[in-house]
A = this chain, B = another copy of it.
Amino acid sequence: MAYEFAERGATEAVEEGRALAPKFDADGLLTCVTTDATSGDVLMVAHMNAEALARTIESGEAWYFSRARRKLWRKGESSGHVQRVTEMRVDCDQDAVWIKVRQEGPGACHTGRRACFYRGVPLGKAPDKSLVLEFRDAEKAFDPQSVYGDKR
């Protein structure tokens, strides 16, 4: 696909301007926060390269770049759990985007949960070996083995 982003200008232009001039990191990626358009919960944090960002903008469906698999990845291509983007925002220095999505299917997380953030970290004490994470909203919404098989 053909696409083009604006060139990065001075700080003032990046922060106060109307051009999309993303700041990709040394690996060519920016951070994407994905929230549920209805509940507002954070579903996942992932990365986009330039093509994933362009495809998301063009299609209105979430595309990411998998750092583990080193490949472009249309969310839901294996599971059918597509994400329809209702809104995209970019942050001040344009190294992160926030997308609000309608999640198709039971969940966004490859572990079978609705969302990736299913464990709480207890606060108030410096972390040590005694720290115990607390499962929250951790019910499995689908069986990852049957959905992903060996592609997980």
Interface of A is mostly: loop
Q: Within 8 Å CB of A133, what residues of B?
A: 17-20, 90
Q: Within 8 Å CB of A96, what residues of B?
A: 45, 116
Q: Is the CB of A19 within 8 A of B131?
A: yes
CA distance A118 to B88 in the complex (A): 10
Contact of A57 among B5, B125, B135 (CB under 8 A): B125
Q: Give the number of chain A interface residues (Cβ < 8 Å).
A: 61
Inter-chain CA distance A20–B41, complex, in Å, is 21
Give the interface of A toward B (CB within 8 A): 1-6, 15-20, 31, 33, 35, 39-42, 44-45, 53-54, 56-58, 60, 85, 87-92, 96-98, 109-111, 113, 116-129, 131-136
Interchain residue pairs with CB less than 8 A apart (9): A18-B119, A31-B31, A33-B33, A39-B40, A54-B126, A57-B123, A58-B124, A89-B136, A90-B121
